[in-house]
């Protein structure tokens, strides 16, 4: 153990963070997958034999070989920082990994661009109306009511599945917990409720539109005694149940299938299009600043027909 492998040091680092509750089991599983994907071969190297140049060479090559996005590299960099900072503290190495990476020159062109058209990231105005009308005219069970509530509040999927009765006030819902998903040591999927949301800014009070209050009332009528708002046969409804229902509805309406999180992007776009104050928008979304909402959530929801009508009305063209 005087000269462990890179993987040995990674195991020490990740185990320490988990034992100190700095990360969740779900985060550990995600880091483990990233290590297996990108560092399995490099991880066999003895830590003392790894030079600064070899780290830089590894990073540049793995970005190219794995066709990483900028975000994918950011996740990998977290592991590299953790491994080699711990290695220096244990005196396996004498160089600073922070200086090594800060001195690197990585072109933006090196990263794969994960760009999707706006129509794949949000529901258009017409699609939103179709889905809502379909749900209202069909069976209003708790899963469908949960989808309606998501459209009207923009809560994250995990936040939706973790709501309790006491979270609801007259015109608002307090968001301060979320569902997490991970695999245990036996490889079984585990779904748990964590008593804090994805980020600190995620702790918030979301206002509910007046015209959507009937949704909350109907939810309470269908589940008056359950601990969680969304329950079936005495058990909490997981996020995947909402995801499957949304997929089924999209298929029945013959519109592109999108994930549950696209409802949240749609909500954020609607808020921005409405001209609401930025402070109100970030409060509703649970973001730290408006740049997050604008850069990652704001998309064009207009259909081609609406765009044609808009361009035809522009004076001077």
Lowest mean pLDDT among 61-65, 113-117, 229-233, 277-281: 113-117
Give the model's confidence band at 315: pLDDT under 50 very low, under 70 low, under 90 confident, else very high: low
Give the model's confidence band at 96: pLDDT under 50 very low, under 70 low, under 90 confident, else very high: very high
What are the percentages of helix, strand and coil residues in the chain, rounded to 5?
55, 10, 35
**What whole-number distance in Å separates Cα of residue 255 and Cα of residue 103?**
48
**What whole-number distance in Å separates Cα of residue 311 and Cα of residue 317?**
8
In this model, does residue 114 exceed pLDDT 70?
no
Percentage of the chain lying above the pLDDT 70 cut: 99
pLDDT tens-digit map of 228-251: 999 999 999 999 999 999 999 999
DSSP per position, 196-256: S-SSGGG-EEEE--GGGHHHHHHHHHH-SS-SBSSEETTEEPPHHHHHHHHHHHHHHHT--
In this model, does residue 304 exceed pLDDT 80?
no
In this model, does residue 166 exceed pLDDT 80?
yes
What pLDDT sits at residue 308?
79
In this model, does residue 312 exceed pLDDT 90?
no
All residues at 6 or more sequence positions from 113 whose CB lies less than 8 Å from its CB, including other chains: 69
**What whole-number distance in Å separates Cα of residue 286 and Cα of residue 173?**
13
Lowest mean pLDDT among 86-95, 178-187, 248-257, 258-267: 178-187
Backbone angles phi, psi at 217, to 5 degrees: -60, -40
**What whole-number distance in Å separates Cα of residue 41 and Cα of residue 255?**
43
Q: Using CB atoms within 10 Å of the CB of residue 303, give its burial: 0 to 12 exposed, 13 to 18 middle, 19+ buried.
A: middle
pTM value is: 0.76
Q: What is the mean pLDDT of residues 284-297?
A: 90
In this model, does residue 137 exceed pLDDT 90?
yes
Do 197 and 286 meet the contact criterion of CB atoms below 8 Å apart?
A: yes
In this model, does residue 277 exceed pLDDT 90?
yes
What pLDDT sits at residue 111?
80
What pLDDT sits at residue 24?
85
pLDDT tens-digit map of 68-81: 988 889 999 999 99
Q: What is the mean pLDDT of residues 163-174?
A: 95
Give the model's confidence band at 269: pLDDT under 50 very low, under 70 low, under 90 confident, else very high: very high
- Residue 268: C-alpha distances to residues 172, 211, 275 (Å): 17, 18, 11
**What whole-number distance in Å separates Cα of residue 317 and Cα of residue 19?**
64
In this model, does residue 109 exceed pLDDT 90?
no
Lowest mean pLDDT among 122-126, 157-161, 209-213, 296-300: 296-300
Among 236, 242, 234, 147, CA closest to 191:
236
């Amino acid at each position: 153990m005087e000269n462990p492998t890179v993987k040995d040091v990674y195991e020490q680092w990740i185990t320490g963070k988990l034992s100190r509750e700095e990360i969740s089991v779900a985060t550990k599983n995600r880091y483990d997958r990233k290590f297996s994907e990108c560092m399995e071969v490099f991880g066999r190297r003895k830590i003392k034999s790894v030079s600064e140049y070899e780290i830089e060479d590894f990073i540049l090559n793995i970005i190219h070989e794995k066709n990483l996005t900028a975000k994918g590299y950011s996740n990998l960099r977290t592991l590299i920082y953790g491994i080699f900072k711990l290695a220096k503290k244990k005196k396996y190495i004498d160089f600073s990994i922070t200086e090594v990476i800060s001195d690197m020159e990585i072109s933006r062109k090196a990263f794969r661009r994960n760009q999707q058209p706006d129509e794949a990231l949000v529901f258009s105005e017409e699609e939103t109306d179709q889905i809502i009308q379909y749900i209202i005219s069909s069976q209003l069970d708790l899963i469908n009511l949960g989808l309606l509530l998501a459209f009207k509040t923009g809560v994250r999927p995990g936040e939706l599945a973790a709501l309790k009765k006491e979270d609801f006030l007259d015109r608002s819902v307090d968001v301060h917990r979320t569902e997490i998903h991970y695999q245990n040591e036996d490889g079984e999927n585990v779904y748990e409720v964590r008593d804090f949301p994805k980020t600190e800014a995620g702790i918030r009070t979301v206002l509910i539109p007046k015209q959507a209050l009937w949704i909350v009332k109907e939810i309470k009528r269908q589940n008056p005694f359950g601990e969680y708002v969304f329950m079936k046969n005495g058990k909490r409804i997981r996020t995947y149940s909402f995801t499957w229902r949304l997929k089924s509805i999209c298929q029945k309406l013959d519109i592109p299938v999108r994930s549950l999180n696209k409802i949240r992007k749609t909500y954020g776009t609607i808020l921005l299009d409405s001209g609401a104050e930025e402070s109100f928008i970030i409060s509703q979304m649970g973001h730290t600043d408006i740049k997050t909402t604008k850069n990652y959530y704001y998309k064009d929801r207009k259909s081609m027909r609406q765009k044609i009508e808009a361009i035809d009305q522009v004076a001077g063209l």
